[in-house]
């Protein structure tokens, strides 16, 4: 009699274990079990992925907003890709609506100074550079509600950002991004083919930050750039403060 009751008890336990497993599988869709390129979301699933981590490419655009920005946004929208725009404060003041559109469509906004003036920004003291970034921060905040701390200094951080400059940016609570691939879309002699070749040949790392500009050449090359990166297995994501990675020429871990 005791053996029969023990057998019956074991059968009940087994039934509940398998039932619980079925309930969990019903609640957690299979799409949440992998890390994938979802244009409507930049979040990463908290569940363990059954696939190896994919490579990430950050498309970044400098010097806007301008007359090419809306075309870039349309291409990104059509392609389901996300990007990061480093904007100039004075240009945001002229066109705050398109800056808001960037965020509404899932992109991120960083700061690229007010004047883009090499002599003014790097005159020997970091005061002007930090002040311009803070002024641009205030303009973006007023236009969009975003309090962004991400900056890209004009012309890149080397050789301009000596220790004093970097210390000042850290004290002002800014994060700095340079890039890993320069498309040279800013050079007058560049072409669609040369830009695409640079992206194709140099996209070899697991994380790439690709420098582009709000320009006519970029508009023409962007669909092929997106296609090329995706064919190489890259996920196209916007910058996320919670997932900041060090991408500066000085390898300053504080930034």
- Rounded Cα distance between 121 and 130, Å, is 9
Tell me if 109 sits within 8 A of 141, measured CB to CB: no
- Rounded Cα distance between 65 and 68, Å, is 8
25 closest CA partner among 52, 53, 47, 54: 47
Beta strands in 96-250 (DSSP E): 108-111, 150-151, 175-176, 181-182, 207-213, 234-236
- Rounded Cα distance between 35 and 235, Å, is 10
Which one of the listed residues 107, 112, 137, 213 is annotated catalytic? 213
In the annotation, is 178 catalytic? no
Which one of the listed residues 36, 62, 95, 244 is annotated catalytic? 62
In the annotation, is 213 catalytic? yes
- Rounded Cα distance between 100 and 239, Å, is 16
Token pair, residue 52, equals 């190896």
Cβ partners under 8 Å of residue 200, min gap 6: 228
Tell the residue number behind the tokens 């699933």, with chain if given.
45
Catalytic residue set: 62, 213
């Amino acid at each position: 009699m005791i053996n029969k009751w023990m057998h019956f008890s074991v059968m009940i336990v087994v039934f509940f274990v398998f039932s619980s497993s079925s309930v969990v599988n019903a609640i957690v869709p299979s799409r949440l079990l992998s890390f994938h390129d979802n244009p409507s979301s930049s979040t990463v699933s908290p569940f363990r992925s059954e696939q190896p981590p994919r490579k990430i490419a950050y498309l970044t655009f400098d010097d806007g907003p301008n007359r090419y920005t809306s075309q870039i946004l349309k291409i990104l929208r059509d392609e389901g890709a996300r990007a990061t725009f480093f904007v100039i404060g004075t240009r945001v003041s002229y066109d705050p609506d398109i800056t808001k559109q960037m965020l509404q469509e899932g992109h991120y906004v960083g700061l690229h100074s007010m004047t883009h003036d090499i002599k003014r920004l790097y005159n020997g003291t970091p005061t002007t550079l930090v002040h311009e970034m803070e002024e641009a921060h205030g303009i973006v905040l007023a236009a969009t509600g975003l309090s962004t701390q991400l900056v890209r200094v004009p012309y890149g951080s080397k050789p301009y950002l000596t220790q004093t400059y970097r210390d000042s940016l850290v004290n002002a609570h800014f994060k700095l991004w340079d890039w890993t691939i320069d498309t040279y879309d800013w050079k007058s002699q560049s072409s669609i083919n040369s830009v695409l070749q640079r992206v194709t040949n140099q996209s070899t790392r697991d994380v790439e930050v690709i420098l582009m500009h709000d320009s006519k050449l970029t508009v023409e090359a962007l669909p092929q750039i997106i296609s090329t990166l995706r064919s190489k297995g890259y996920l196209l994501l916007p910058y996320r403060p919670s997932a900041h990675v060090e991408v500066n020429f000085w390898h300053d871990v504080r930034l």
